[in-house]
Chains A and B, each alone.
Chain A
Amino acid sequence: MNGFAALAPLLFLVGGAILVLLLGTRRNGGTNSVQAAVSIAAIAAAGFSAARLWGRAVRAFGGQLRFDEAALFMTFLFLLAAAMAVLLGMRYLVRHAMPRGEYYGLLLLAACGLVIMTATINLLIVFLGLEVFSVSAYALSGLNRRDDRSAEAAAKYFLIGSFASAFVIFGLALLFGTRGSLDVHQLALPETGGSSALALTGLALVVSGLAFKIALVPFHMYQPDVYEGAPTPVAAFFAAAPKAAGFLVLLRILVPHFQTGIRNEAIIEFLSAVAVATMILGNFAALRQRNLKRILAYSSIAHAGYMLIAVISGDPAGLLFYLANYLFMGVGAFAAVIALGGPGREILDLDEFAGVGRRYPWIGGIFTVLLLSMAGFPPTGGFLAKFYVFSTAVRAGHLGLAIVGVLTSLVSVYYYLRIVRIMFMKEPERELDVDTENPAVYLVLFLCLYAVLQLGLFPGNIITLIRQATASL
């Protein structure tokens, strides 16, 4: 396979980003819809070129770039998330007077970084991909330059993010010194030589750095602030895509455990403790929030805890299915927040949602289905995803984790249904100022609704894809 054919998805994304940025410098050629169309075209081209690589076990650049089916599956998720974020942003950027070319360009570059992170088994390349994503993400979260909260979110995200990156790179240095390689397959196995303490420290640093990016407890503190302060379409992109990339890297590190049977119990125990803390804290902290974006942030932390169970019990298929579901639930929920916003202003406080569902039954209804899916009600995809994860955990002997998962899911039902109750059961307190001419956002909402129901009722096709993807790990 020619190296540049394997590079095509990345080249399309970067090329699209540069083109959008250049269009932004022109006075009349750079209208919003042109830039959005160029971005969508670049994402579609990247998607088609990635689809052509399916089933070919592509290795390029001396094996450093490795598009196996798992990486390609993730690439499709990232591209979907980016495309939906472009659609969500179109009207939002105008409404909030934000710079447009930068938004689309940085979004494409962030997606590109995530693809790099997943399409390799060398941890140095993972680090570089992580940085390509992170640097774009810091700028994206501060893009609303008229809003103090956006600037604050960018500052917090930047500080914590670069702190986490320093952890990852120092961990890599220790691992390189003790193992002589940064290949993921050799890292997690128990140490045989004398330098096991250094190697374990290195691995712990790398895993903590990844935990920052996935926002697992106790590395989650920045996440609610970033979600609240960042522009909502950016938060929608952050909801699922970076978590998916972090989880795939974590999975790749742990795969030797499940294939060889030689287990490093220290890592499993550490991750189990983190999973329990993440599920409990995420769900209980969400209970006392009044701001919708913060509720969604804590709910995403809780979902990361459930996904970590799938990693611990060695269930890559369950993890990928959960990630696919969460992508649509997370983006869809933020899409609903955007759809209910007015010109220059968003409704975020829970009390302001009173009666919204009666006034706008379509948006309220779709939002309700997405929230039910997050809580894990059948027949939605969220139910199946949780069912797969918990049942595999029981079979793998992690009964305690499954019990905590089920109990915290019950807690989460309360705060999801509270939103639904406020939307439908209460009378509106005052006239709502909702911008209804927003077809791109409605498109995203219907897509998420369709995906969540499709994944819940007829998951056969996607499970076939996931089987092929996990076979390549």
Chain B
Amino acid sequence: MTTVAVVGLSIVLFVLGTIAFIVKRDLLTQFMAVEIMLNAANLAFLGLARGSGRLDAQVIVFFVMTVAAAEAAVGLAIVLHIYRRKKSIKTEDLDRLRG
């Protein structure tokens, strides 16, 4: 039962993250939505590891956390760079590329 509950919660989190990514119009908030999606995946892996007693799922979580950290490092640098140039991180201000 607990496995089902944990995986169910992770699915809810993932869907919420997806909706937030699509609805929000702000680079940082969208990036936070992606982080929630990644952590939903982590939670799913942990729930499954607990249910099946397998350790590989727990190892995968460490990989995902490392990946999220690397993405955050590059991503925040990009957002900061955008802010310096445009004084805004709204997606509607990213309008130089159109066609």
List residues of chain A with CB under 8 Å of any chain B CB: 124, 127-128, 131, 134-135, 138-139, 142, 145, 148-149, 151-156, 158-159, 162-163, 165-167, 169-170, 172-174, 176-177, 180, 224-225, 228-229, 289-291, 294
Contacts and interface: CB of A to CB of B under 8 A. Distances in A.
Interface string B66-93: 0100110011011101100110000000
Contact of A173 (B10, B17, B70, B96): B10
A165 B66 CA distance: 13
Contacts of A229: 96-97
Given A158-B78, A162-B71, A169-B38, 5 more contacts: A135-B71, A166-B38, A172-B60, A173-B48, A229-B96
A177 B21 contact: no
B48 A155 contact: no
Contacts of A176: 45, 48, 57, 60
Interface string B1-43: 0000001001000100100010000010011001001101100
Nearest to B17: A166
B97 A128 contact: no
B81 A145 contact: yes
B52 A180 contact: yes
B21 A163 contact: yes
B78 A131 contact: no
B31 A159 contact: yes
Given A138-B78, A173-B10, A180-B52, A152 B38 contact: no
Nearest to A168: B41
Q: Is the interface of A mostly helix, strand, loop or mixed?
A: helix
A333 B77 CA distance: 31
A260 B28 CA distance: 47
Contact of A162 (B34, B77, B82): B34
25 contacts: A124-B60, A128-B63, A131-B67, A131-B70, A138-B74, A139-B74, A145-B81, A151-B78, A154-B81, A156-B94, A156-B97, A158-B71, A158-B74, A159-B30, A163-B37, A165-B67, A166-B38, A169-B41, A169-B64, A173-B41, A174-B44, A176-B45, A176-B60, A228-B97, A228-B99
Contacts of A128: 63, 67
Given A158-B74, A166-B34, A177-B7, A148 B96 contact: yes
Contacts of A158: 71, 74-75, 78
Contacts, number: 109
Contact of A151 (B41, B52, B85): B85
Nearest to A201: B11
Contacts of B63: 124, 127-128
A222 to B, nearest CB: 10
B82 A155 contact: yes
Contacts of B99: 224, 228, 289-291, 294
A152 B10 contact: no
A155 B48 CA distance: 34
B97 A149 contact: yes
A284 to B, nearest CB: 14
A167 B17 CA distance: 11
A173 B44 contact: yes
Contacts of A148: 85-86, 96
Contact of B82 (A138, A151, A290): A151
B40 A170 contact: yes
A151 B67 contact: no
Nearest to A166: B37
Contacts of B81: 142, 145, 151, 154
A158 B77 CA distance: 11
A294 B96 CA distance: 13
Contact of B74 (A135, A151, A152, A294): A135
A155 B71 contact: no
Contacts of B74: 135, 138-139, 158
A159 B71 CA distance: 10
B44 to A, nearest CB: 4
Contacts of A139: 74, 77-78
A203 to B, nearest CB: 15
A4 to B, nearest CB: 22
Contacts of A131: 67, 70-71
A172 B85 contact: no
Given A131-B67, A170-B40, A170-B44, A162 B97 contact: no
Contacts of B70: 131, 135
Q: Which 4 A-B pairs have the closest CB atoms?
A: A166-B37, A173-B44, A225-B97, A170-B41
